[in-house]
Structure 1
Amino acid sequence: MPSAKTNILAISIAILTALLSSYVPQINQVFVDKAVEHGIALPQILILPPTVTDVTRDVKYIGSFSAGVDHFQNIFYAEEPTGPRRFAPPVPVKPAKGSVIDATRPGAWCPQGTGVILPFTSLVTNVSENCLSLRIARPRGVKRGEKLPVVVYLHGGGHALGSASDILYNPDGLVKEAVASGTPVIYVGINYRLGFFGFATSRAMIETKQTNAGLRDQRSALEWVRDNIEAFGGDPMRVTAIGQSVGASDIGLHLLSFNGTQGVPFQQAVMMSGAPGLNFNSNPELVANNTANIASQVGCVDDADSQSIKTLECLRTIPADVLTNLTVTSARAARPPFGEGYFYPTIDKDFLHGRPSELLRDGKLVKGVPIIASWVANDGAWYAPPHSATDEEVLDSFGLWLYNLSSSTKERLLDLYPVEEFDHMVREGYDGPISAHYYRAAQMNRDIWFTCPVLDFTWNYVQNKGANLSDVWLYEHNATRYTPVFEAMGVPMWRVAHLSDIPYVLNNPGLVGGADNSDDQRELGRTVSRAIIGFVHSGTPQSEARSWPFAFSGIATEQLLGDYPTKLTIQVFGGDQHAETVTVSKDDDSKRRTVVENAVSWERLFDRCEFINSPQMRQEAGV
């Protein structure tokens, strides 16, 4: 029971708050914070919502409050992309002077499939084209002029799924940990157009520069942050873009956008499990065919020219729910289970002038952006069918995406991943009837989609003077809080699967869906998030008060002329030590490696990624 002292404090707070809150909002905040500190629940009527007034534009934002964190949600950065604005570049929002923005509730998710995706993600229900909004989370009571560094998060989901409002991306833990470590930050999550609405293409779309709408949305949101975040207490010149999966790959595309001539509205980047590489064939032909197929099904092709302006104008008249249901069904049938790789960024000679790998190597990139890039130990686990048991099934695990690979390329891949090297991973009593071929396919998928593109992008970014050697860092994440969830789903073989690093980076202490919220895992989350927060604040990632060595430490200047690095320094998260730095070289003597170095060496990053990033495979993949 509350003590008499506690009751007196509660009554005092209630009376003073009621008397003064209407006149002195700052005093209201002090008393509310004290109540939270002492575990006292106040009536909601006594708690004033956080407000932000942009005095330059005469706009007020009214948000909501959770313990220690101010939230502002559903803030539109662009006009509703409907009618003539469907597929078109976003039109920035300009609220009328005197506007009061209700930012108390989450905004709609951009058009996508509804229902349950994974046990630890949100149920998708609220879908609308009017979705170009962002959410802001900041430490309680930050004032204009404090100029805190800003994190802008680009969610993943294969350009088919996701929202800034998904519980997977709850920012409270990150914001609170930043305050606890004495380095507070402001968090911004953004929604951008997905699937057909975000990445449809055609001849008419290319000619009128109405392509890659999802990427243009992201840039528009980042520009909104640049132009408006100061009112929320943020520093527009200290913005770190963080993306996971395709969100990370998209950050890379922004660094290659407009041939590098228009800069980017962020100063640093964290690219988690993604970079432009073999992720998707950037040639627009496949996506144009998928667009034409949808246009035909809704009756928008009546002159046999699916690429015409007339077809484009017709597509703008079709109800959004009709297009959503049709395109999601088509995408998931072609690319099960989520529809990834059906609509995605393509070359349009405007935002993206050529193949990403060629733009990168030609130095057509935005320079001066320090980068942390990463992958997860078993990033490719859910892309490999559990029944994989032959060479052909291993190759089929990515055949839908990389459909132009030659016989010699396929043979070389199989040689680089001999099945016997994966025998030790088989756990018959735990995983069920899973063969070494499954783990072989999973590792191959990991390297093709995530690890090797990350290494390719960072190495070539440094080579072509995008960043100094001392401005690029790498980490491998080898821990997961989803083990009990994967067991319940019947997929324990996924291990440290894709998405596993998100709750550590965001320091989410209370995952749902049966995830592991043990003290040890939460402490690792604090370790990882502190490292990222350190980078956001100082430009240098730190782990346990120690700075990481940069990725290409010890590489001589003349070695920068090589196609591939001969040495890698990687921060490894997970295991007994929580964080350990590993350096591996192409010519290492395995007898002198530590346990962790030996584990990283087993991944054969040098010979495998040298081939996966080779001109031969890049040409055949169309990247």
Structure 2
Amino acid sequence: MEVKKGSSSSSAGPIVEPTAHGRLPFHMGGALQRIEEPEMRFNFIHHHLLERANIPILSASIFPPTVTDFTRNIRFIGSRTPGVEHFQNVFYAEEPTGRRRFATPVPVSPPKGSIIDASKPGAWCPQGVGDILPFTSQVNNISENCLSLRIARPSGVQRDAKLPVAVWIHGGGHALGSASDILYTPDGLVRAAAAAGKPLIYVGINYRLGIFGFATSKAMIETKQTNAGLRDQRAALQWVQDNIEVFGGDPDRVTAIGQSVGASDIGLHLTSFNGSRNVPFQQAMMMSGTPGVNFNSDPVFVANNTVAIARQVGCAENDDGQSMETLECLRAVPADLLINVTVNEARKARPPFGEGYFYPTIDNDYLNGRPSQLMRTGKFVKNIPTVASWVTNDGAWYAFPQTSTDEDKLLQLYPVEDFNHMVRQDYDGGISPQYYRAAQMSRDIWFTCPVLDFSWQYAQTGGLNASRIWLYEHNATRFTPVFEAMGVPMWRVAHLSDIPYVFNNLHLEGGADNSLDQLALSETASKAIVGFVHEGRPGGEGAGMQKWSSAYPTMRDGQRSSESASRLSIQVIGGPLGLSEVAIDRDGDVGVMTAAQQALAWEKLFDRCDFINSPQMRDEAGV
């Protein structure tokens, strides 16, 4: 299904079925589609005939790349960009409609002999259409039939290459986003890895969002039809385990990489089923997020939102909205109506995009308790080396620019005088120190302190040797000219700023900074992440990027005493101090610190995170 361009950004708009053209059928997740371009049809037929005749192919570049699963007799037909082969809209689960709406994903099983057109992006999962940010894609093609993957690999990879795999789980507040977003274009990452002699396979996941992915109710909990978006991610990761070898990947060297709620979801996978089942990945990278990003994992709030939507679409008129009858009714509601109502309500409650209206909750199955408590009781999957991070101004989006008094934000740990120096009157306009104070609090509450708590508890309770946990703070952005044009220069190094550096994106859209110095930093940072994917430890050679030190250098195996760390080692990427590794102590003397240590000490991570991660704060937040 496709939503026509020009629909309102707060509504899904009309949905129409596409028309298939051409003659050669292609299997796509249970439905037959057809190749639209005559040239591609000719190239494929010509290539296929030459192969069958055992005639050498001299100019393979004129043909689309192909991957054949000989065991199942399935062929994937992709596309090319310079140095990279792409296979898009590769389905890992059947269409989640009708009885499958809200339910656990069903693995796709194409018939033997299927030829799968993987040359173009597929639909995004249901969400609001229109523009999001200047450097992201416009949303104009949504469908429930969206459970697909985006795969990219270096050109010329052999079937037996056994390359490590990086699997991307996008953010977007469980309300928006797709692996096909231009912000996540994988070409730069794939090319940089190959140029460094460390080639990898990239996989991006689409998963259900909003009410389709995270609705909950008594009936849904009783029938284990909850947290569908999380189950989608797990099914996609399992598909990688079962199938990536035919693309030249190694299923035993998979790194799950997530940003924002994508990072939070990785943490939830580690605590899934109380840690009693292994996860289908061997390493994790969590950018700006751990389970603390989702406040209040109790299902009541999301259940109430589910009921509110059910009432609006006529599915909860005579009961409390949590019955099996309501669930069955919601399954029968036309997709466009359910999308429109949900997007409108979510954005009204959580402007501008409806993030956090639906999100993962305790269901006594996938998630059996508050994540912070599961971590403290050792109920998680062990031995997953982890890189975790935050961005310097991660909280800038979430503070009101008009914040100007103590009545707006007051916490003794954040004295307003700490933020006087951040005011840039001629540049930011009428932004006060109170705004920067509120933004820092938002950053620490939502991102930084949960990252420190999750990573510390993972080592503290025996999940992993402390030497296999690394932290970094990202302190550079390529979005400065975009934020200036948007009228929000005070966002500075805001949420999402780290993504183009990890992806080594050379051509950001929307007027972003594509200058040579930023491209050089992007390549360096990306190669550091490639080092983790390839070798199990972040960092790399050259440009100041040596192998990183572990986050908790003084923690000894068997140490089980402290609620939080007394010493941190953090890799800082970008900013006035460039690339540097900074070690700080809880009781360090500012007078004898280096400039980098003083800059990090200003953040007061020990004292502030002690409070934010305290039992009282965690209880009130429900994390």
Q: Same fold (TM over 0.5)?
A: yes
> Take 1:258 and 1:21, find their aligned partners in 2: how far apart are those partners?
46
Partner of 1:163, secondary structure, is: coil
1:258 to 250, 262, 273: 273
2:419 to 408, 418, 422: 422
Structure 2, unaligned stretches of length 5 or more?
A: 1-44
**Which amino acid in structure 1 is aligned with residue 404 of structure 2?**
A
1:328-339 correspondence to structure 2 within 5 Å: 328-339=343-354
1:591 matched residue in structure 2:
591
Aligned partners of 2:466 and 2:556 also within 8 Å: no
> Take 1:576 and 1:30, find their aligned partners in 2: how far apart are those partners?
51
How far is the alpha carbon of 1:465 from its aligned partner?
A: 1.3
How far is the alpha carbon of 1:575 from its aligned partner?
A: 2.8
Deviations 1:15-66 (A, max 9, x none): xxx9999636999987466xxxxxxxxxxxxx10000000111110000011
**Which amino acid in structure 2 is aligned with residue 479 of structure 1?**
A
> Take 1:132 and 1:558, find their aligned partners in 2: how far apart are those partners?
42
1:470 to 467, 472, 478: 467
Deviations 1:275-297 (A, max 9, x none): 01253210000000000011111
1:41-440 correspondence to structure 2 within 5 Å: 47-277=62-292, 279-394=294-409, 414-440=411-437
How far is the alpha carbon of 1:542 from its aligned partner?
A: 1.2
How far is the alpha carbon of 1:436 from its aligned partner?
A: 0.3
Deviations 1:387-435 (A, max 9, x none): 11112323xxxxxxxxxxxxxxxx6xx1011111000000000000000
Partner of 1:508, secondary structure, is: coil
1:505-544 correspondence to structure 2 within 5 Å: 505-544=502-541
1:604 matched residue in structure 2:
604
More moved, 447-456 vs 543-552: 543-552
Partner of 2:408, secondary structure, is: helix
Aligned partners of 2:178 and 2:206 also within 8 Å: yes
2:498 matched residue in structure 1:
501
How far is the alpha carbon of 1:196 from its aligned partner?
A: 0.6
Structure 1, unaligned stretches of length 5 or more?
A: 1-17, 34-46, 395-410
Partner of 2:510, secondary structure, is: coil
1:7 matched residue in structure 2:
none
> Take 1:393 and 1:125, find their aligned partners in 2: how far apart are those partners?
38
> Take 2:271 and 2:278, find their aligned partners in 1: how far apart are those partners?
9
How far is the alpha carbon of 1:204 from its aligned partner?
A: 0.1
Deviations 1:168-215 (A, max 9, x none): 100000000000000000000010000010000000000000000000
More helix by share: 1
Partner of 1:415, secondary structure, is: coil
Partner of 1:134, secondary structure, is: strand
**Which amino acid in structure 2 is aligned with residue 513 of structure 1?**
G
**CA shift in 2, pair 1:71/1:30, >3 Å:** farther
**Which amino acid in structure 2 is aligned with residue 605 of structure 1?**
L
> Take 1:563 and 1:20, find their aligned partners in 2: how far apart are those partners?
62
1:37 matched residue in structure 2:
none
1:562 matched residue in structure 2:
562
1:543-558 correspondence to structure 2 within 5 Å: 543-545=540-542, 546-556=546-556
Partner of 1:392, secondary structure, is: coil
**CA shift in 2, pair 1:27/1:132, >3 Å:** same
> Take 1:502 and 1:105, find their aligned partners in 2: how far apart are those partners?
23
> Take 1:117 and 1:77, find their aligned partners in 2: how far apart are those partners?
27
Deviations 1:213-232 (A, max 9, x none): 00000000000000000000
User: How many aligned residue pairs are there?
Assistant: 576
Aligned partners of 2:465 and 2:557 also within 8 Å: no
Aligned partners of 1:528 and 1:543 also within 8 Å: no
> Take 1:504 and 1:358, find their aligned partners in 2: how far apart are those partners?
33
Aligned partners of 2:294 and 2:359 also within 8 Å: no
Aligned partners of 1:377 and 1:497 also within 8 Å: yes
Aligned partners of 1:278 and 1:621 also within 8 Å: no
> Take 1:539 and 1:75, find their aligned partners in 2: how far apart are those partners?
28
How far is the alpha carbon of 1:302 from its aligned partner?
A: 3.2
How far is the alpha carbon of 1:485 from its aligned partner?
A: 0.2
2:492 is the counterpart of 1:487: no
> Take 2:218 and 2:413, find their aligned partners in 1: how far apart are those partners?
40
Partner of 1:72, secondary structure, is: strand
> Take 1:55 and 1:377, find their aligned partners in 2: how far apart are those partners?
48
> Take 1:599 and 1:559, find their aligned partners in 2: how far apart are those partners?
29
Partner of 2:470, secondary structure, is: strand
> Take 1:472 and 1:29, find their aligned partners in 2: how far apart are those partners?
47
**Which amino acid in structure 1 is aligned with residue 343 of structure 2?**
V
Aligned partners of 1:277 and 1:449 also within 8 Å: yes
